[in-house]
Amino acid sequence: MEKVKFMKAERRVAVTGIGFRSPLGNNLTELKDSLFNNRSGIRIIPEWENMENLDTRVAGICANINEMLIERKYRRSMGRISILAALSCMDAIADSGIENALIESQECGVSFGSTAGSSDAMQNFIEQIITQQSLKGLQSSTYLKFMSHTCASNIAMMFRVKGPVIASCTACTSGSQGIGFGYEAIQRGNANIMLTGGAEEMHIMDAAIFDIMHATSTKYNDQPDLTPRPFDSKRDGLVVGEGGGCLILEEFKHAKKRGAKIYAEVIGYGNTCDGSHLTNPNPDGMLAAMKQSLKDAELSPDDIGHLNAHATATEAGDIAESKATYTLFKDKVPVTAFKGYMGHTLGACGALESIITINMMNDGYIASTRNLTEPDPECAPINHVTGEVRDSGFSIGMNNNFAFGGINTSLIFKKI
């Protein structure tokens, strides 16, 4: 049978709603103010002093989280990770102006990611079993808080979604895959609306995982605003963070027909695997994801006006990413790494950094990479944005994220 060629232009994908919780604020006004004022979302975590052999003491924390905005019947199966996700989706749906009847129809689906479920809920569950050797008092709803697809499932139940539900659990690309898979679902015609993004909650377990790998920042425990330092010669590791981000994706004609506000169009998505090592990044895999995204968007490297770098402020990651980026763009494209402001928000970073990309594109500015004062000479000489916020009229932006497992993603957004 002859294969029918898919015509991409028939199913364009718009971003029609944005909502988030982040260490830099919980709405676009607060976020932009933080970027313009070079404000850090990194804080000292005093209780981590009690953990023997844990060397890092800082993290990116969300403030002013009002979980009471969520009805109890939904909240009781949510850990903090799902609460951050649900609050983000509430704001994004309200922002989109989509009626409840559409959200609750088969036209709407969910594509949402996280590194795992609620670490706090998992700790409470396991501690009782191990320390007390008893199931007495354990609630069945606790599992629903820490199951790997807790964000996607709780969002689907809370908003009575009837369409496809996709849960991406790929560490630091969970949020970007959430967006990418939602984009593909609309392109294929599986849905007209997708609630997409990712979330992460802060827990000492996250810090411990990277601390054991000697990948965390430890030299700036008393000066949290000086770390992390993406691409900088004085960087000493990543800082874990938390947050949630939701982008409402909608089939373009569907959005136009209802008179929706359109923030941007998703025009490219690349998703590759290094196939070489679980933790050591490979520039070839990163490069392949960017090329795939450009091919999907039918663009050349010269068309990209800004690039958000994943840039965790680890030596291996920054060097590999800079080489992959330079191979494709040389020093022509302005590059910013936003983890210098809010840390590595893990499963949420793909969504939060996509939201920042869209906001900069629409509001005509490019924020600098915070704490980048002296680029590491071991990194390739890409075009870093440093110092003050730049005025810019770029209309196409790329957001890259990379994860353990050698998983690479690249998203391209276009201004409308």
pLDDT tens for residues 89-132?
A: 999 999 999 999 999 999 999 999 999 999 999 999 999 899 88
Q: Mean pLDDT across the chain, nearest whole number? A: 96
The answer to the question of residue 2 being in a domain is no
Q: Is residue 1 part of a domain?
A: no
Residue 264 confidence (pLDDT): 98
pLDDT in tens, 231-265: 999 999 999 999 999 999 999 999 999 999 999 99
Sign of CA dihedral 87, 270, 8, 1: negative
Lowest mean pLDDT among 54-63, 127-136, 386-395: 127-136
CATH assignment at residue 298: 3.40.47.10
Structural domains counted in the chain? 1
* 76 inside domain: yes
- Does residue 151 lie within any of the structural domains? yes
Which residue segment(s) compose the domain that 215 sits in?
Answer: 12-414
Per-residue pLDDT of 259-315, as tens digits, reads: 999 999 999 999 999 999 999 999 999 999 999 999 999 999 999 999 999 999 999
**Mean pLDDT confidence for 153-171:** 98
pLDDT of residue 63: 97
Q: What is the pLDDT of residue 1?
A: 30
Residue 47 is encoded by which pair of tokens?
């209780």
The whole-number pLDDT of residue 7 equals 45
* Domain-located, residue 54: yes
pLDDT attached to residue 393 = 87
Nearest to 260 by CA among 3, 14, 69, 4: 14
Report pLDDT digits (tens) over 334-390. 999 999 999 999 999 999 999 999 999 999 999 999 999 999 999 999 999 999 999
More confident residue, 392 or 176: 176
Indicate which residues carry an active-site annotation: 172, 310, 344
Sign of CA dihedral 5, 290, 197, 251: negative
Both tokens assigned to 340: 């210098």
pLDDT at 119: 96
Q: In this predicted structure, what is the pLDDT of residue 2?
A: 35
The predicted pLDDT at position 5 comes to: 40
- pLDDT at position 4, please? 36
Would the pLDDT of 209 be above 90?
Answer: yes
Q: What's the pLDDT tens digit per position in 2-29?
A: 333 444 458 999 999 999 999 999 999 9
Residue 356 lies in a domain: yes
Cβ neighbours of residue 399 under 8 Å, at least 6 residues apart? 176, 307, 308, 350, 353, 354, 357, 410, 411, 412, 413
Rg of the chain, C-alpha, whole Å: 20
pLDDT at residue 167 greater than cutoff 50? yes
Cα distances (Å, whole numbers) of residue 343 to 24, 40, 65, 228, 301: 10, 9, 18, 6, 28
Are 19 and 90 spatial neighbours (Cβ–Cβ below 8 Å)? Answer: yes
pLDDT of residue 137: 86
Residues 240 and 342: their CA atoms lie apart, in Å, by: 9
Assign residue 203 a region (left: φ > 0; alpha: ψ between -120 and 50; beta: otherwise): beta
Residue with tokens 């997409």, as numbered in its chain: 196
- Model's pTM, two decimal places? 0.96
pLDDT at 3: 36
Decide if 106 is inside a domain: yes
Question: Residue 97 has what pLDDT?
Answer: 98
Give the number of other Cβ atoms within 10 Å of residue 125's Cβ. Answer: 18
Indicate whether 5 belongs to any domain: no
